[in-house]
Amino acid sequence: MKTRRRASAERQPRGRRERDPHHARESQRYEAPLPSREYILTTLEEEAVPVDEKRLIRLLEVKDEERDAFARRLGAMERDGQILRNRKGALLVAERLSLIAGRVAAHPDGFGFLEPDDGSASLFLSPAEMRKVMHRDRVVARPGGFDRRGRREATIVEVTERAQSRVVGHLHHERGIWIVAAADRRVQHDILVEPGATGGAKAGQIVTVELVTQPGPHAQPIGRIVEVLGGYDDPGMEIEIALRKHALPFEFSRDAERLAAKLPDKVRKTDLAGRRDLRDLALVTIDGETAKDFDDAVYCERSGKGFRLIVAIADVSHYVAPGDALDEDARNRGNSVYFPRRVIPMLPEKLSNGLCSLNPEVDRLAMACDMIITPRGEIAEYEFYSAVICSHARLTYNRVAAALYETPPRSDSEIRPLVGQLQLLDGVFRALLKAREKRGAIDFDTVETELKFDARGKIERIVPVVRNDAHRLIEECMLAANVSASAFLQERKHHALYRIHEGPTVEKLAALREFLKGFGLQLGGGDEPHAKDYATLLEKLKRRPDVQLLQTVLLRSLQQAVYSPENVGHFGLAYEHYTHFTSPIRRYPDLLIHRAIKAVLAGERYDPGGWADLGKHCSATERRADEATRDVVTWLKCYFMQDKVGEAFEGSISAVTSFGIFVALDGIYVEGLVHISELGADYFEHDASRHVLRGSRAGRSFRLGDRVRVKLVRVDLEAGRIDFVLAEAA
């Protein structure tokens, strides 16, 4: 009888939790594994009816002590649009209802798009639908028909997450009602201010309003003013607006500030344990004139017929521990943001400009990448180790270029003793250039500009930045260290955040080939061109008068570089693997790579928790910083052009769109729009593949790169817009 009972017990089915096909994966990730998302969805689908949360807890055998964590998982699934709650609070599978989850991308003209989480094509949201939501809200929507332009439409079923809790904008007083018009033109709603909640602000001022009621189909958003920033043209206001418009963290948490305050002012003797002493080597930093945070120092000496190159990088990971307050703030920021005349650092100033910065003539902790470079520029050997260094000088690109490349050379008393060291650095740079050319890395010759300011913080003039060989010298040294870091982790099968750059999409490649055909040009490589094919074509274009036009089109055919744990290589640099290692003071991905390398050196593994999510986050914070700085520069340029209305300028067409042409002015480096209605009495057709607007009757066309003469007719500071007309028409 006992034997029969035991056999019967063995035939009993496993517990519900153990039947989760992803149970092993969850067990690896968590000490107390919860039911996987996939299994929760399967369970809900098997029930075939809306399921009360209490019943789901029983079905999945969730223990009492797990309920809080399980509720958080359900909340995350709800935010991601995998599940929905009906009016009674019961749970449903969104996919079964033919619903799509995603984020709202608003357009300044009142309509918007739903960007689905699954990466499928965007769906059009009409102005009526957009009244329910604000830019970047998460929603679940039902796909519908097509609008008259053939765009697939969607109807919003539910808002699962509100992205806007505070909005910065202009305060207006109209007929006894206080209204805030958002500075972000993608936020189309006027926000009503609660009675008595103006915070003492005056009409016309820039304020931050906290939303107490979100928008709905028949209701405007309502808020209370929590911050008065000042007048619109106050010095630095453009940056204050950009910080809030793009939700950039600009104040460190109290915990982070307390932690930074506890750090020493200089390197302690106890910090030197286990480090190689490189203080006698003539390591130097080479940066821009205004730089204050020095991530990297370089040193070179002969090694046989080749070179020994040491790239020493600030050891931020020694002071910022995973999960501490400094790390949380740094992760949230993702990167430092460099505005004209102001920096929003990733780390508090005590670290970014002090303890971590490789300032001259003080001891600093570093992670060293020690490489042997052959005369052909190949990295024959590399080694990573913790070190202590003392930078022998803080040099600038212009001073190094004057000492190395001017005839006759110019060197001051500080740089003169280092000229021999700089010549060796130039030698390794020339070797690395050979390898770059052999790889076929793409090198676009773009013009960067610098804003020169007056005493009030407004642009006085805009000047081009000359990129000399000293810039390229440091760039090649950093590339060598970065690619060595990725090789180090890949060879040891350790996870990493790669800096990936994919080649052109099928659609962009087809459009590029069609465009080049009109110029009698061809891009090699067939259906899968390599960077070398781009580089070969660029070399052929150098002496053509239309080189800027053709280079611009080639550049726009490429995808944007992002961070990802999935290594697909770096197309532009022609590397099979590449990561960011050289700027941990100002980029969070670099800090992660330092921690991973240190873990490998210690025989351990480093897991920051979700490499893929971190890659998406860091890519997003990088785009956020780019958008914010672009907003500030645009506003400053508009302010600069205000008193030039009525003047005529020469320029080139820098972009062609369905609604007009953008013109970049010669010598001023400012862009503005000539609206399609100002191009002449004709109907213009937009040919996107050829970057041209062509008149259907008179046959006049406007193509990317064409020379035009325009007249400035309007500057809109709030919209950040400059309008031109053709000078001949004016």
User: Could you report the per-residue pLDDT of 458-479, keeping only the tens digit for each?
Assistant: 788 888 888 899 999 999 999 9
Q: Which pLDDT band, with edges at 50, 70 and 90, does 12 fall under?
A: very low
pLDDT at 4: 40
Average pLDDT rounded to a whole number, residues 598-621: 95
Average pLDDT rounded to a whole number, residues 415-424: 94
pLDDT per residue over 534-591, tens digit each? 999 998 888 888 888 888 889 889 999 999 999 999 999 999 999 999 999 999 999 9
d(CA 293, CA 684): 50
DSSP state for residue 99 in the 8-state scheme: -
Of residues 19 and 337, more confidence is placed in: 337
Averaged pLDDT score across all residues of the chain: 90
| pLDDT value at 10 more than 50 | no
pLDDT at 16: 65
| pLDDT value at 728 more than 90 | no
Q: Count of CB atoms within 10 A of residue 214's CB?
A: 18
d(CA 620, CA 702): 35
Q: What is the DSSP string of 662-689?
A: EEEETTT--EEEEEGGGS-SS-EEEETT
Q: Which of 279, 468, 492, 291 is nearest to 390 (CA)?
A: 279
Q: Where are the domains of the chain?
A: 17-95, 98-161, 166-232, 254-495+581-626, 645-726
Q: What is the DSSP string of 463-484?
A: EEEP--HHHHHHHHHHHHHHHH
d(CA 179, CA 726): 38
CA angle 251, 253, 255 (to 5 degrees): 150
pLDDT per residue over 362-396, tens digit each? 999 999 999 999 999 999 999 999 999 999 999 99
Average pLDDT rounded to a whole number, residues 294-303: 97
Cα 252–chain centre separation: 20
pLDDT at 87: 63
d(CA 320, CA 318): 6
d(CA 525, CA 504): 12
Average pLDDT rounded to a whole number, residues 276-283: 97
Q: Omega into 408 within 30° of 0, i.e. cis?
A: yes
Collapsed DSSP state (helix, strand, coil) of residue 330: helix
Dihedral pair phi/psi, residue 219, rounded to 5°: -145, 140
d(CA 31, CA 68): 15
Global pTM value: 0.84
Task: Classify domain 17-95 at the CATH topology level.
Answer: Arc Repressor Mutant, subunit A (1.10.10)
Pick the CATH number of 98-161 from 2.40.50.140, 3.30.450.20, 3.30.160.60, 3.90.230.10: 2.40.50.140
4-13, 75-84, 546-555, range with the lowest pLDDT: 4-13
Of residues 65 and 601, more confidence is placed in: 601
Average pLDDT rounded to a whole number, residues 603-618: 94
Collapsed DSSP state (helix, strand, coil) of residue 96: helix
Q: Which of 628, 694, 629 is nearest to 661 (CA)?
A: 694
Q: Which of 428, 430, 431, 402 is nearest to 414 (CA)?
A: 402
Burial (CB count within 10 angstroms: exposed 0-12, middle 13-18, buried 19+), residue 358: buried
Q: Which of 7, 12, 14, 63 is nearest to 35 (CA)?
A: 63
pLDDT per residue over 32-65, tens digit each? 788 898 899 888 888 777 888 889 998 888 888 8
d(CA 557, CA 440): 17
Collapsed DSSP state (helix, strand, coil) of residue 603: coil
Q: Are 302 and 290 in contact (CB under 8 A)?
A: no
Query: Which amino acid belongs to residue 265?
Result: D
d(CA 619, CA 589): 10
pLDDT per residue over 129-150, tens digit each? 999 999 999 888 888 888 888 8
d(CA 365, CA 313): 8
Q: Which pLDDT band, with edges at 50, 70 and 90, does 729 fall under?
A: low
CATH code for 645-726? 2.40.50.140
Q: Which pLDDT band, with edges at 50, 70 and 90, does 6 fall under?
A: very low
| pLDDT value at 2 more than 50 | no
Q: Which uninterrupted H or E stretch holds 535?
A: helix 531-541
For the chain, give the percent of residues with pLDDT over 70.
96
Of residues 186 and 4, more confidence is placed in: 186
Residue owning tokens 């490649």: 509
pLDDT at 447: 76
- Going by CATH, does the domain composed of 166-232 fall within 2.40.50.700? yes
Per CATH, 98-161 and 166-232 having the same topology is answered yes
Q: Which of 500, 291, 498 is nearest to 399 (CA)?
A: 291
Q: Are 367 and 384 in contact (CB under 8 A)?
A: yes
pLDDT at 700: 87
Q: Are 212 and 223 in contact (CB under 8 A)?
A: yes
pLDDT at 9: 36
pLDDT at 364: 98
Angstrom CA distances, 57 to 22, 33, 73, 78, 232, stand at 18, 14, 12, 16, 54
| pLDDT value at 730 more than 70 | no
d(CA 348, CA 315): 15
